[in-house]
């Protein structure tokens, strides 16, 4: 558990350091993400981004457990 928390902390630190470059990646605006805008109402549901993030996270966890 300690190793997982350290790795997660390093990942968050790296994401924070590289944020100017990571913000240019179109995550959150992928095809399949639902974004509805109306007067006084804004709804966003990142379906494709969530699935992609889940797949990558599952793959990383699987690799670290081997």
- What are 25-61's pLDDT values in tens digits? 776 778 888 989 999 999 989 899 889 989 999 999 9
> Residue 34 in contact with residue 44, Cβ under 8 Å?
yes
* Token digits of residue 51: 């699935």
CA distance 55 to 30: 15
Higher pLDDT, 15 or 28: 15
Is the pLDDT reported for residue 22 higher than 90?
no
> Residue 29 in contact with residue 46, Cβ under 8 Å?
no
Q: How many CB atoms lie within 10 A of CB 56?
A: 10
Type and span of the H or E element at 41? strand 41-45
């Amino acid at each position: 558990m300690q190793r997982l928390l350290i790795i997660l902390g390093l990942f968050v630190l790296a994401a924070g350091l590289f944020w100017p470059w990571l913000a240019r990646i179109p995550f959150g605006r992928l095809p399949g993400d639902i974004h509805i805008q109306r007067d006084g109402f804004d709804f966003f549901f990142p379906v494709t981004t969530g699935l992609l993030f889940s797949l990558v996270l599952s793959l990383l966890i699987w690799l670290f457990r081997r």
